[in-house]
Amino acid sequence: MRFDKEKQWIGAVYAEDLVLMAEMLAEDPSLANFSHEAFDDPYREGRFPVYTLSFAVGGPPQQQIDWRQVERKTNFDMVKLLVEAGADPNIENVHGRPLCICREERMARYLIDHGGDINRWHDNGGAPVYFAVWQIDPNRLKMQIRLGADPGQINPHNGSSAFHSAAEVRPGDEQVADHLEIIHVLKEAGLDPNHRAGVGVQSDWGPVYQGDAPLHMAAQLNRPEVIEALITAGCSRSQTNAADETPRETARRVGRGEDIVRML
């Protein structure tokens, strides 16, 4: 019977049958926090359990398909039904908590009003603002800041900032404009462009940090447009890391081309 109930719940969620979902929740409130691999990205070989609320907030398919390429189908009424039945708005999925992936302001505001923490850290992607940065989603980042997100949160594991993520994630050609807007939003929010990460700790997207500032990381990993935007945002060309390297010296050490070196 347990297997049949789970199968029925999954079917009701996919069909957006809120009447059936409400009936099942009345009988078994624990379904509000039910998770299953069926709610993960269907194109992933190894799927992870995803909570129903995250599925309702993010829409199928989950995390792994770029939001620019797939129109996510979300259902605010389903979100409200689940939360009112006891779903945890901070529930932790491997792909991020609901507020990490939420792109709709009224839905995000509802989750916050019902206990969602817009600044809670997630160990596989960071706080919600970090998700917006590395997924190169400036509208989501601006929404999060409007709702009280702190863009200045520091990664508790390696001491990096959201500026480091912006410096390390290399955008594709179609993402450059959004990526540059991310950097501008972080600058306007007052984030320190010269904050140094930890020493001897793994970065999220590249080499081991040696007290590197964002520009040190961009000098190793990123394209000219991003480096230029970071400099415009206040990143210092002369700042040294724990190895006493400037960004230019870092770029030379890793073999970047002269076009990059000249910028630094």
Do 7 and 108 share a structural domain? yes
pLDDT at 47 (0 to 100): 81
Which residue segment(s) compose the domain that 193 sits in?
A: 126-264
Do 142 and 50 share a structural domain? no
Do 144 and 258 share a structural domain? yes
pLDDT at 61 (0 to 100): 52
Please tell me the distance from the alpha carbon of residue 66 to that of residue 154, in angstroms, as a whole number. 25
Tell me if the bond preceding 61 is cis, omega within 30° of 0. yes
> Residue 164 sits in a domain of what CATH number?
1.25.40.20
Q: Please give the tally of structural domains in the chain.
A: 2
> Residue 51 sits in a domain of what CATH number?
1.25.40
pTM: 0.92
Do 249 and 181 share a structural domain? yes
pLDDT at 39 (0 to 100): 87
Do 154 and 67 share a structural domain? no
pLDDT at 74 (0 to 100): 81
Looking only at the bridges linking them, the beta strands covering 208-210 and 199-202 are antiparallel
Do 256 and 137 share a structural domain? yes
Do 157 and 232 share a structural domain? yes
DSSP string, 22-35: HHHHHH-GGGGG-E
Do 148 and 248 share a structural domain? yes
Nearest to 93 by CA among 136, 63, 132: 63
Q: Would you write out the chain's pLDDT as a tens digit for each of its 264 residues?
A: 455 899 999 999 999 999 999 999 999 999 999 999 888 877 777 788 889 999 999 876 544 456 677 666 788 999 999 999 999 999 988 888 999 999 999 999 999 999 999 999 998 889 999 999 999 999 999 999 999 999 999 999 999 999 999 999 999 999 999 999 999 999 999 999 999 999 999 998 888 999 999 999 999 999 999 999 999 999 999 999 999 999 999 999 999 999 999 999
